[in-house]
Amino acid sequence: MHPGKDSALFTSQPFAEYRHYDVRVTAAELKTAIVAMQKRFTETAAVSGNIADLRLIHFNLNPEVFAPKGSHGQLGLALRNIRVELVSR
């Protein structure tokens, strides 16, 4: 997984302004993840290593709350224009 060419970069610093993120996964990166999954979780050994056999059925975003010691963490999250697209075959 890597950022797209016009993507903002992830940061450990809180921010309030809108930022554009573009995250991409290449076929090679997906294949590497499948092989690692199969090695770590033997029950997934039957999962096809051919990425053409796979489909995306779930997309998840996990926001994190920054709360320095002694403070109260707050999460304000606004998402827009979320999409998953196949950019090449």
**pLDDT per residue as tens digits for the range 57-76:** 888 777 777 777 888 777 76
CA distance 76 to 80: 13
What percent of the chain has pLDDT above 70? 94
Q: Give the range of the structural domain holding residue 67, as residue numbers without chain letter.
A: 1-89
Rg (CA), the chain: 17
Could you tell me the pTM of the whole model? 0.61
The token pair at 31 is: 């294949």
CA distance 20 to 38: 33
CA distance 49 to 80: 33
The conformation of residue 69, written as its DSSP 8-state character, comes to T
- The count of domains in the chain is 1
In the three-class reduction of DSSP (H, G, I as helix; E, B as strand; rest coil), residue 65 is classed as: coil
